[in-house]
Amino acid sequence: METAIRALILGDVIGHPGCRALFIHAKQLIKDYKADVVIVNGENSADGFGITPDIADQFFSLGIHVITTGNHVWQKRDILGYMDSHPAVLRPANYPPGTPGNGSVTVEVRGARGTVINLQGRDNLSTIDCPFRAARDMIKKMKQDTDFFIIDFHAESVKEKESLAYYLDGSIAAVVGTHTHVQTADERILDGGTAYISDIGMTGPDNSVIGVEPDMALQRSLTQMPLKLQVLDVPAVIHGVLVTIDPATGRALTIERVRCASSL
């Protein structure tokens, strides 16, 4: 009998193209990868900025268990109230005390308890609370009631992401990076048994500039004017990783990159 837990973690869903690709392919991907638990970063799913209750409902109906976010979490304000009744929609755990929503959730996965923690980096992003201390304290508090931890570290800096992975190596199953929208090829299992990748990539439009129209992104760079960026409406590619986890140790066994191109 297969004992390893199979976690499918998919990257930042970008606007309509990302949602469309997920609606078409998520169920088959879950089946193909025999995923026991599915985590998706949804912070760019509503036209590139934020997430709405309707989109979150649709994600859950596809078999997604946990939705993580990041720096755009509050962009669509309807999500604030929705988070109260849907604890599996996370905001970064290291936001200041009193911020709405939860930074972690524990889900039952084939008899094991898996805790997903969402954190946000501070290098080139807002100077929120320390993600290292937040992670350390949460793991310490929850480890008695958790068989394995997975962290979505929504951050810009590879240095910060790798540092967090080494800091937590051996105490959690995986640290996966999100936010840059570009999948990196540095997936590995660290010495202590924690799976790591700097960025799992996006679920977003192919041949774009991190999901938006290239011309507009270029004009913005050339003119330095605050031009509004728009999601490029072309078929998307779904990027992510599959991590297998030994629930007895809480450590990772394997990590592999996932890439699925949508035709629509």
Q: Is 154 in the active site?
A: no
Active-site pick, 25, 72, 86, 154: 72
Residue 181 lies near Fe ion (rule: CB under 5 A): no
CA terminus-to-terminus distance, the chain = 37
**Residue 180 found at the interface with Fe ion (CB under 5 A):** no
- Residue 11 binds Fe ion, judged by CB under 5 A: no
Range in contact with Fe ion (rule: CB under 5 A) among 2-10, 171-179, 217-225, 229-237: 171-179
Rounded Cα gap, residues 191 and 142, in angstroms: 23
Binding part of the chain for Fe ion, among 59-67, 163-171, 173-181, 247-255 by CB under 5 A, reads 173-181
Q: Which of 179, 181, 239, 251 touches Fe ion by CB under 5 A?
A: 179
Q: How far is the CB of 180 from Fe ion (least distance, A)?
A: 8
Residue 24 and residue 161: Cα distance in Å, rounded? 31
Between residues 147 and 199, which has the closer beta carbon with respect to Fe ion? 199
Is there a contact between 68 and 104 (Cβ–Cβ < 8 Å)?
Answer: no
- Residue 179 Cβ vs Fe ion, minimum distance, rounded to whole Å: 4
Q: Are 150 and 171 in contact (CB under 8 A)?
A: no
User: Which contiguous run of DSSP H or E holds residue 244?
Assistant: strand 236-246
Q: Does 70 bind Fe ion (CB under 5 A)?
A: yes
Residue with structure tokens 């976010």?
Answer: 69
Element (H, E) at 29: helix 15-32
Q: How many residues bind Fe ion (CB under 5 A)?
A: 3
Euclidean distance between CA atoms 101 and 89, whole angstroms: 8
| Nearest distance from C-beta of residue 69 to Fe ion, angstroms | 8
Rounded to the nearest 10°, the torsion over CA 168, 169, 175, 179 is 70
Q: Is 71 in the site for Fe ion (CB under 5 A)?
A: yes
Name which of 179 and 251 has its Cβ closer to Fe ion.
179
Which residue, 204, 198, 147, 195, is CA-closest to 168?
Answer: 195
Least Å distance between CB 75 and Fe ion?
A: 10
Binding site for Fe ion (CB under 5 A): 70-71, 179
- Residues serving a catalytic function are 72
